[in-house]
Chains A and B, each alone.
Chain A
Amino acid sequence: MAMFIRVDIDDAVRQDGDLCKQLIEVCPVDIFTLDEGGRVSTVEDNVDECTLCDLCTDAAGDGVRVVKLYRE
């Protein structure tokens, strides 16, 4: 269970196949994956590895939010 980071993904992003693939491609620590329905989701074990590089938010804009739980 991730303790430090949470990644929120909007439904619009989950349903955009090209964007899903882009998220998987850009994340350096493999936080994103495709579920059985072909929608993007997160790999729970990898979420705390987030390097805060912003590549996912650059790709998806407001459709992906990286939340620092330790700042809440």
Chain B
Amino acid sequence: MRFYEFEAKQALARRRVPLPKSELARTPEEAEAAAEQLGGPVVLKSQVLSGGRMKAGGVKFTDSPAEAKQAAAEILALEINNLKPAGVLVEERRTVEQEYFAAVTWDTRAKRPVIIFSDMGGIDIEEVAEQHPEHVARMHFSPSRPFPDFSAKLAVANVGITGGALNALSRMVAALAGAFIDHDLTLAEINPIGRLDDGSFVALDAHMDMEDEARGRHTALLDELGIDDPEARKARPPTQFELDAAANNDADPRGIAGNLVEFDGNIGLIIGAGGGSLTLFDAVRAAGGKPANYCEIGGNPSVGKAAGLTKLVLSQPGVDKVAVMMSIVSNTRVDIVARGVIKGCIEAGRDPAEAIAIFRIPGSWEEEGFVILDKYGVEYVDRSVSMHEAAARAVAKVAG
């Protein structure tokens, strides 16, 4: 769940992270009043759950309240990546001498949170890491112990910062890490931190994402920030395809056949097994395939539920075939999924032997499943064929 910048900054303010003075405005008149109140030049920033605000015209600099009113009217009317702004943040404009980057996120390979810090902020951190690796420091820490402030200090010191700047920046990074841990965030980022002409540091922009499943643990924070509809906090609104998949999943409590994300490829995926679905998605891409969707199937969905998902995926424009693949499963019956996907094909008016590029679900009741697949002429493989090999075969079939 994403937070707007103004909300992320409120969360940081609770941790005494220094911030520029700002006010949220919902109308041009409120923006004008805010600029009047702040005095001097201001920056107005669209509060939208999307990146690329600057390029899209969602950030404007003004020198007077009248200009701020006009700029706010333009920003409030501007959709960025099809998202309407929740308001405009009117913020005092400060003279920045240097920009820094600080973030805490999960390193899924190390299976631990990692602090990422750079003295080259304000730009794409991946670009900095590639071109100036000596300017990026990474420091892992344990999520199960109290955060050691020393880790923050090491991260900052590792790019060569010393003295008072080291102390000030370390406090900000430690606060960011504290927010990350306490609020079950998947990303806490300040980019940029600005060093002002008086030598002080402020968080000029902030970005926070909370783990969706953890929202129930943080109702106090969400209430305090006035977030009444967490479901609306997606990076983009769900497509009709995704909504239909969610409805198919919700209509039957047995297992999962949903969590679908739409892409613009031509190979439909019916994939599952926890991380297996991510692996399989990557395997299709690695084989040169273009997935039409990501999804998750597992936990023994009913025949009807699997059929519904199959029909839906096959209904996508440009999708002629689906690949049905999982890792080795013990909590999902192969024969039930086989029945479901075959039924889905037939109800969609398709020949399962043609529409199913490959079926690779080894596990419980696979012998029974293979008999069903044989009956309908569907190509299947067992566990002796790797997920990557199965994905490559499916991609080759789709390519014709």
A58 within 8 A of B: no
Task: Report yes or no: A49 in contact with B371, Cβ–Cβ below 8 A.
Answer: no
- Chain A residues, Cβ within 8 Å of B343: 3-4, 48
B284 beta carbon closer than 8 Å to chain A:
no
Q: Would you call the interface of chain A mostly helix, strand, loop, or mixed?
A: loop
Q: Considering the complex, give the chain B residue whose CB is closest to the CB of A45.
A: B304
Does B59 touch A at the CB level, under 8 Å? Answer: no
Known: A3-B342, A48-B303, A70-B371. 5 other contacts (CB 8 A): A4-B339, A4-B343, A29-B302, A48-B343, A52-B335
Q: Do residues A49 and B375 form an inter-chain contact, with CB atoms below 8 A?
A: no
Q: By the criterion CB–CB under 8 Å, are B304 and A49 in contact?
A: yes
- A3-B343, A3-B346 in contact; A51/B371 too (CB < 8 A)? no
Residue in A48, A70, A71 with the greatest tally of chain B CB atoms within 10 Å: A70
Q: Which B residues lie at the A interface, using CB under 8 A?
A: 302-304, 333, 335-336, 339, 342-343, 346, 368, 371-372, 375-376
Q: Which of B333, B339, B375, B376 contacts A48 (CB 8 A)?
A: B339
Q: Is the CB of A70 within 8 A of B375?
A: yes
Give the number of residues in A that approach B within 8 Å (Cβ atoms): 10
Provide the main secondary structure of the chain B interface.
Answer: helix
- Residue numbers in A under 8 Å from B346 (CB-CB): 3
Assuming A48-B339, A48-B343, A51-B336, is B303 touching A71 (CB within 8 A)?
no
CA distance A3 to B341 in the complex (A): 12
Contact status A49-B302, CB under 8 Å: yes
Q: How far apart sit A4 and B307, CA to CA, in the bound complex (Å)?
A: 13
In the complex, the chain A residue whose C-beta lies closest to that of B302 is: A49
Chain A residues with CB under 8 Å of B339's CB are 3-4, 48
Contacts of B302 in A (CB 8 A): 29, 49
Residues of B within 8 A of A45 (CB): 304
CB under 8 Å from chain B, chain A span 51-72 = 51-52, 70-71
Q: Which residue of B lies closest to A50 (CB)?
A: B303
